[in-house]
């Protein structure tokens, strides 16, 4: 990353990759060509499609938060697989997972209600209602 200094010189800073515990400002520079950027964009697109393609301002804010939290959780998954997970990381992971769950519920992504099974009488009535008229 390059920055222009007041005297006309440029300062080049080495940027490190994204990690689960990266500062929020690192996430603001998310390169959409990376695996992390593609994951963010895909999840974001899927949630926008879920709410009908035109989210209102509240839904848009929730979708943005969901995409960022999902990205952090995925990065934490990688850290967990490498065996470098600390107790603080574990607490953060659980907090982010719970926050994501609550945000998704707010968007209406909760499990659909189970359809009630028809009673025996309703089943028989529906199953055989057309036979009498055809005969």
Cα–Cα distance, 49 to 36 (Å, whole number) = 20
Query: Has residue 134 been placed in a domain?
Result: no
Structurally, the chain folds into a number of domains equal to 1
Q: Which of 10-14, 58-62, 112-116, 126-130 has the lowest mean pLDDT?
A: 10-14
Read off the pTM.
Answer: 0.58
In a domain, 130, yes or no: no
Is residue 131 in a domain? no
Which of 100, 60, 78, 66 minimizes the C-alpha distance to 18? 78
Structural domain that includes position 82: 2-110
pLDDT at 47 over 70: yes
> What are the tens digits of pLDDT across the range 84-97?
888 888 899 999 99
| Average pLDDT over the chain, rounded to an integer | 76
């Amino acid at each position: 990353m390059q920055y222009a200094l007041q005297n006309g010189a440029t300062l080049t800073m080495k940027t490190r990759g994204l990690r689960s515990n990266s500062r929020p400002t690192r996430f603001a520079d998310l390169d959409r060509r990376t695996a992390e950027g593609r994951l963010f964009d895909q999840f974001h697109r899927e949630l926008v499609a879920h709410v009908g393609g035109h989210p209102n301002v509240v839904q848009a804010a929730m979708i943005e938060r969901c995409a960022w939290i999902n990205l952090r959780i995925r990065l934490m998954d990688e850290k967990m697989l490498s065996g470098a997970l600390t107790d603080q990381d574990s607490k953060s992971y659980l907090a982010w997972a719970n926050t994501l769950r609550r945000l998704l519920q707010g968007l209406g992504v909760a499990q659909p209600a189970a359809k009630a099974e028809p009673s025996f009488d309703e089943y028989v009535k529906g199953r055989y209602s057309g036979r009498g008229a055809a005969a």
